[in-house]
Structure 1
């Protein structure tokens, strides 16, 4: 039986979120499916990976400087050699680096290696150290990659111009399930708000993302502080976990915003929470192609986002949202204020989001990926 291996840093927050449709497709086409990733379930015994025949728990470290990754590389090399995979698809920075290193010999025996870059660490505006460290590594690894897949225009152009030794494809992200994230109606919005304890008068902003420096939630908290007098019923719902939770909670306390900023943690009901929101926001410093923004678009929400890679692919300033500078608190707050005072602008931006999101639907992305896979299997 033919075999395929998927590799990423973690299971719960990556493999199970983004790759189950592709594991399913390979199973349906007669492949034995394997996964290498770290078990990041709160209770390790709850681990479950649908459509996976064999799982290897490899404790990847996200930092390239961690010596534990040397052992991961050795284990990966052994796993790849013993299984003679037909195709390996690796994801996440460390998953991509270690897998392509470990698969060098196997490629000589016919194994095809694909890597999806969910957002390079080198990008326009990135620190110089990122270009000095990550770009040379990716340039060298591209020689050991059969196909490099990007998910936004900036990364695609970078690869096309600078990494000329690799086959390049661009797909529209990981795909958004438009049967799960459905257009908001006023009736549904009111009904679900009651269930969650919010009133019709609340003006709700929503952001789903890891609580981190990269996601930059402190910008949103500052913006809410700026707006608290002009929009007394403003609420900011922050979905997600992360290393900066305590710092952001302290910021909220210091600004007296405990009743306005809610930390919701990891949630399985994001689609319902989107339905109660008025505006979707994103404060990221960098993105690949943000799923949270696509989910908001599929719900028909207007957007206010920072001007970073990935956000720019999805939000056209003045068409389906506002795009503001990464550290521009004043303009972020002003953009939210404009939407608060204009029902018509919110409506027009929301309609535009719905019209644009079909391009990023899961069904279309699956077809794009099938076309890529078919070239290598």
Structure 2
């Protein structure tokens, strides 16, 4: 049978494509199921995809389950050898479609896994409950952002179900601190349950794609010359990302660098309002809200610098991408980001919601020598600390330690913070 399955109605007994008989693995193989909201090309699904691609030749059998909706990365997962299961939910937020819950429960009752690895709070809360009922051997959750990013109901549900984890992973020390700072409410939540595994990127592959991309074509598409200073932001159009701060900052940047331009690349609920803000500020010649683009490498190739005004982050993959592309970074001085960007070495850090300070840092990068220095040092930092190989090694050791096929002595230290 194909390793890709879609369930919109529960299959009948005896013909269920999710039966254990269709999902057997050799004894030495660890069966890992990832559960995530959807397969959009966002940070969390991209991290899972990198993990599947890099570990495909190791003794793991990967299944990727998602509630429904955007399945942009589905083919990529299938090409990497993962079985993909769609629980058939619909709507802008498919994880909230109640019709997916019975399908999800039936699937996990009929399919055996050694490890269920849940991503994002809603999937974590449901996955922990369903995994426990279905008697999954071990449950792992990865926290990709700080609690402030999530709805209060999601935060409460996540905290209440967290004891069901065998291990909870944070993508940065800042994320772990933000979550464990709430542990006085739930005294069972100790540091022993947590590990920090930073996000990683395939440096050689991404850098090669940027080198092969046509940055000049991107500039021409948006009416920019080769000499126009180009700032790039890649992020969802959501309140957390604070692109409005970047628009305000550009109003000050062009006072001294009139040919500068900002491309805001992404998608999300604020797309129309961001375009309105650009128009009302009279910045249509300096700022472009592009919407979703078919491929991103050409934009990194075209950019002189990368800018991020986020109010909070976990450990942003787009900043790792920018640094890999040797783009110097101007970003906000927040947990997660300051673990990646070193102020004055790989870029500049400024306080959140301060467009004037953001503009000053952006103007600083108008200097070519400064951009070159920050860009080279940033790429070196990613190669030393934030590679996908390091990330995958930590996760696979975690899986094996939980599964009992690797010595468990010091199992917190052996995959935690060993960059």
C-alpha contact (below 8 Å) 1:183/1:300 kept by paired residues: no
C-alpha contact (below 8 Å) 2:36/2:120 kept by paired residues: yes
C-alpha contact (below 8 Å) 2:33/2:117 kept by paired residues: yes
d(CA) in 2 for partners of 1:10, 1:77:
17
Please name the residue that 1:276 is paired with.
302
5+ residue gaps, structure 2: 1-23, 26-30, 184-188, 404-419
1:357 maps to 2:382: yes
Distance 1:47 1:228, change over 3 A: same
The equivalent position to 1:87 in structure 2, one of 110, 115, 118, is 115
Pairing 1:334-345 to 2, within 5 Å after superposition:
334-340=360-366, 342-345=367-370
Cα distance, 1:181 vs structure 2: 2.5
Please name the residue that 2:20 is paired with.
none
> For structure 1, which segment, 216-225 or 54-63, has the greater mean C-alpha deviation from structure 2 after superposition?
54-63
Please name the residue that 1:57 is paired with.
87
Please name the residue that 2:341 is paired with.
315
Please name the residue that 1:141 is paired with.
161
Partner deviation per Cα, 1:234-279 (whole Å, 9 max, x = no partner): 1111111111111000111111222221222223432221111111
Please name the residue that 1:102 is paired with.
130
The equivalent position to 1:37 in structure 2, one of 66, 82, 88, is 66
d(CA) in 1 for partners of 2:256, 2:325:
26
Please name the residue that 2:355 is paired with.
329
d(CA) in 2 for partners of 1:183, 1:315:
22
- For normalisation by structure 2, the TM-score amounts to 0.77
1:226 maps to 2:219: no
C-alpha contact (below 8 Å) 1:193/1:200 kept by paired residues: yes
- For normalisation by structure 1, the TM-score amounts to 0.85
> For structure 1, which segment, 95-104 or 9-18, has the greater mean C-alpha deviation from structure 2 after superposition?
9-18
C-alpha contact (below 8 Å) 1:37/1:60 kept by paired residues: no
Distance 1:227 1:77, change over 3 A: same
d(CA) in 1 for partners of 2:32, 2:55:
8
C-alpha contact (below 8 Å) 1:117/1:150 kept by paired residues: yes
d(CA) in 2 for partners of 1:33, 1:145:
19
Q: Secondary structure at the match of 1:103?
A: helix
5+ residue gaps, structure 1: none
Q: Secondary structure at the match of 2:285?
A: coil
The equivalent position to 2:271 in structure 1, one of 240, 245, 264, is 245
1:11 maps to 2:39: yes
